[in-house]
Amino acid sequence: MRQFKLVFLLIIFLVNNESFSQTSLFDQQMKVGFEEKQGQFAALDTKLVNESGDTVILGDIIKKPTILNLVYFRCPGTCSPLMWGISKFIDQVDLRLGEDYQVITISFDYTEDIDLGIKKKANYINTMTKKDAAKYWQFFVSDSANIARLANSVGFEYKFINNQFVHPTGLIALSSDGKITRYLRGIEFLPFDIKITMVEAANGKIGPSINRLLAICYSYDDKGNQFVFNVTRVSGIVIFFFAFIFFLYLAFSRRKTKKEA
């Protein structure tokens, strides 16, 4: 029994040691990500340029439950798949875009102009079946100061590394008064997730984030400029789980042996 305990303690030490180094790295990586701010408000005084080239105020645009997503149009990574995901759920969700909810896409790259946004939007709309409703999917750009204020207010943390942006991928749900109600991480979303998120946002109800597991299982590769599956972290979790089960087995086996004796 003493040998089993020593093995168990050794496993715990190795897992904790690895977890410490991985946690330190994870904390550094999470300087790029979503700092969740449910219950707080987006910066409604943010000035934006709409598809007509006019300057508008974010607070004047948000009039119903809103899906907000921050991207940059020249993104070589996850921004395009995310917007394809948006076009997909607009077609599938059992809600009417423009009536029950709205979608707002804002470029966080202040060097991009609205003409580029319009071209990108046309690509996504061309594949959609609900093309008429898609006009309520609004695209905007802005200057650096307004983008920084908006990004900070909704917890969108990003960096410019190796001539491109490293940023989180997902959606931010807002109530009609601009309150942050939920974060949806990832690039594709179930119609049910979108519907329940918008129904809850309509009532001002705050919900838990979706797809948080992605932040646990994936790490950012600075060299490859991409998120990669973190085998070490996941392996550590699995080892710890089985070590804990093994410890419980030994403990109960020992009690059973004592009773029989």
Is 0.75 topped by the overall pTM?
Answer: no
Q: Which residue has the higher pLDDT, 27 or 75?
A: 75
Stretch 58-72: mean pLDDT: 96
- Residue 259 is predicted with a pLDDT of 59
Check whether residue 25 and residue 43 sit in a common domain: no
217 in a domain, yes or no?
Answer: no
Residue 9 belongs to domain spanning: 2-29+230-260
Check whether residue 255 and residue 205 sit in a common domain: no
Using alpha carbons only, how large is the chain's radius of gyration in Å? Answer: 23
What domain count does the chain have?
A: 2
Measured over the CA atoms of residue 91, residue 194, residue 40 and residue 23, the dihedral's sign is negative
Check whether residue 54 and residue 84 sit in a common domain: yes
- Residue 162 is predicted with a pLDDT of 81
Check whether residue 16 and residue 62 sit in a common domain: no
What is residue 38's three-state secondary structure?
coil
219 in a domain, yes or no?
Answer: no
225 in a domain, yes or no?
Answer: no
215 in a domain, yes or no?
Answer: no
125 in a domain, yes or no?
Answer: yes
CATH code at position 120: 3.40.30.10
- Residue 255 is predicted with a pLDDT of 66
Check whether residue 104 and residue 172 sit in a common domain: yes
Check whether residue 111 and residue 173 sit in a common domain: yes
**Lowest-pLDDT range, 95-104, 140-149, 245-254?**
245-254
Check whether residue 138 and residue 114 sit in a common domain: yes
- Residue 22 is predicted with a pLDDT of 41
Check whether residue 13 and residue 72 sit in a common domain: no
Structure tokens at 124: 């996504």
Nearest to 106 by CA among 154, 63, 176, 64: 154
pLDDT per residue over 104-115, tens digit each? 999 999 999 999
- Over the range 100-132, which residues count as b (16 or more CB within 10 Å of their CB) and which as e? ebbbbbbbbbeebebebbeebbeebbeebebee
User: How many angstroms separate the CA atoms of 249 and 259, rounded?
Assistant: 16
Check whether residue 239 and residue 165 sit in a common domain: no
Check whether residue 156 and residue 247 sit in a common domain: no
Q: What average pLDDT does the chain have?
A: 81
Check whether residue 98 and residue 167 sit in a common domain: yes
145 in a domain, yes or no?
Answer: yes
Check whether residue 19 and residue 116 sit in a common domain: no
